[in-house]
């Protein structure tokens, strides 16, 4: 059993070992790709005294203005207490505003202020720089492959939520 964690790299390795190596390659690239991409914005965030948790909230609010608190909670998959702290800080810094929902007055709709939008787009610019460089190097075909594999990693139950980010709110 212990051998499974150490595949042979010999030329005649069995299909099982090749498969293992392909999986490990994916795990590692996903780890390094994701962490190095997020590292790209840490310096900028640090200047503002914010952390990654703040960026995730800013990002999704930018992506879908008038997002409700509940929707954001589902996207981030954290507790409302954790999110509450983050939203409070964003609000205190005039980066985010909330307004009462018009259809359901219990809901709070989230939006970036102008200041928040400026910050988010500065952060996004860093992500764009890295990701578009990777897209260009890899080519359009690779990019669609990249998307397909990642879509397959999102559990069925979350997939609609993720796809809906690309739509305008109704």
Q: Which residues are at the interface with a second copy (CB under 8 A)?
A: 1-2, 4-6, 9, 19-37, 56, 59, 62-63, 65, 77, 112, 114, 117-118, 120-121, 124, 127-128, 130-135, 137-139, 141-155, 158, 162, 165-168
Taking the complex as a whole, the smallest distance from the CB of residue 100 to DNA amounts, in Å, to: 7
Residue 113 in contact with DNA, rule: CB under 7 A: no
38 to 57, contacts with DNA by CB under 7 A?
49-54, 56
Taking the least distance from each CB to DNA, the nearer of 19 and 88 is 88
Binding test (CB under 7 A) with DNA, winner from 6, 105, 148, 166: 105
Question: Which of DNA, a second copy, none lies near 73, with the C-beta cut-off 5 to 8 A by kind?
Answer: DNA
Q: What's the rounded Cα separation, in Å, for the pair 57 and 73?
A: 9
- The entry of DNA, a second copy, none that residue 65 binds, CB within 5 to 8 Å by partner kind: a second copy
Q: HEC string of the chain?
A: CHHHHCCCCCCCCCHHHHHHHHHHHHHHHHHHHHHHHHHCCHHHHHHCCCCHHHHHHHHHHHHCCCEEHHHHHHHHCCCHHHHHHHHHHHHHCCCEEEEECCCCCCCEEEEECHHHHHHHHHHHHHHHHHHHHHHHHHCHHHHHHHHHHHHHHCCHHHHHHHHHCCCCCC
Angle (CA) 141-144-147 rounded to 5° is: 150
Q: Is 75 in the site for DNA (CB under 7 A)?
A: no
Query: Does 99 help bind DNA (rule: CB under 7 A)?
Result: no
Give residues in contact with DNA (CB under 7 A): 49-54, 56, 68-70, 73, 77-88, 98, 100-101, 104-108
């Amino acid at each position: 059993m212990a051998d499974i964690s150490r595949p042979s790299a010999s030329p005649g390795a069995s299909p099982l070992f090749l498969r293992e190596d392909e999986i490990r390659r994916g795990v590692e690239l996903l780890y390094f790709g994701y962490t190095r991409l997020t590292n790209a914005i840490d310096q900028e965030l640090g200047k503002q005294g914010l952390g990654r948790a703040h960026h995730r909230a800013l990002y999704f609010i930018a992506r879908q203005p008038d997002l409700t608190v509940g929707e954001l909670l589902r996207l981030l998959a954290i507790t409302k207490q954790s999110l509450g702290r983050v939203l409070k800080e964003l609000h205190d810094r005039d980066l985010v505003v909330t307004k009462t929902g018009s259809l359901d007055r219990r809901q709070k709709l989230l939006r970036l202020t102008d200041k928040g939008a400026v910050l988010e787009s500065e952060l996004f610019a860093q992500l764009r720089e890295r990701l578009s460089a990777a897209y260009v190097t890899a080519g359009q075909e690779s990019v669609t492959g990249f998307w397909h594999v990642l879509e397959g990693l999102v559990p069925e139950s979350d997939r609609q939520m993720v796809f809906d980010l690309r739509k305008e709110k109704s």
